[in-house]
Amino acid sequence: MATRFSHSVQLGGPLEAVHASYADEAYWADRLRAVGTAGDTLDDLAVSGDTITVTVTQHIPESDIPDLARKVLPGELSLVRTTQFSGFDGARLVGTSRAEAAGGLGVITGSGETVAEGDSALESLSGQVKVTVPLLGGKLEKLVVQHLDRLFAEEYAHLNGWLAAR
């Protein structure tokens, strides 16, 4: 059984600027430097028509992994995260995301919508975490959701800073 999550944030710039940021390699490079570890990488950024596909590899250091998870995961955890944004029409943008943990330990899937609200935008995400470790999966999923809450807060703080500087 998977554990669900949701997250919403008010973005400090118009939807057009959010969309342009998501299509900008400099934004992703800066975000990876600001939020994450030195080993995080931008693996691919493809813009085709109104579709933006971004793949990053992110690393969670062993020191950030709770004790319970360290029992089944020695060392850092690597995640390959692919997000696709599409359907931008000036008023709305939709997205899907999938992150897979190295070694098949789990997967995070989600979808989102960003809507224009005058000079700002509202982005709402929902999804689920599935950890495939017998007996500990549910407990680990809750820990992953807590990590996602912190990660999303940091990523959106970075995006708002990026938007404010433009």
- pLDDT for 64 equals 82
HSE value, Cβ hemisphere, 13 Å, CA-based, for 143? 15
- 61 φψ region: left (φ > 0), alpha (ψ -120 to 50), beta (else): beta
What is the tens place of the pLDDT at every residue in 7-28? 999 999 999 999 999 999 999 9
* Separation of CA 74 from chain center: 23
Q: What is the distance between the alpha carbons of residues 149 and 66, in angstroms, rounded to a whole number?
A: 15
What is the β-pairing status of strands 120-131 and 3-11? antiparallel
Q: Where are the domains of the chain?
A: 3-164
Contacts of 147 (CB under 8 A, 6+ apart): 60, 64
Give residue 97's pLDDT band: very low, low, confident or very high (50, 70, 90). Answer: very high
What is the tens place of the pLDDT at every residue in 125-146? 999 999 988 777 888 899 899 9
- pLDDT for 75 equals 81
The SS3 assignment for 7 reads strand
CA of 77: how far to CAs of 69, 70, 74, 108, in Å? Answer: 10, 10, 8, 14
Q: What is the distance between the alpha carbons of residues 101 and 79, in angstroms, rounded to a whole number?
A: 5
Assign a CATH topology to domain 3-164.
Alpha-D-Glucose-1,6-Bisphosphate; Chain A, domain 4 (3.30.530)
- pLDDT for 44 equals 98
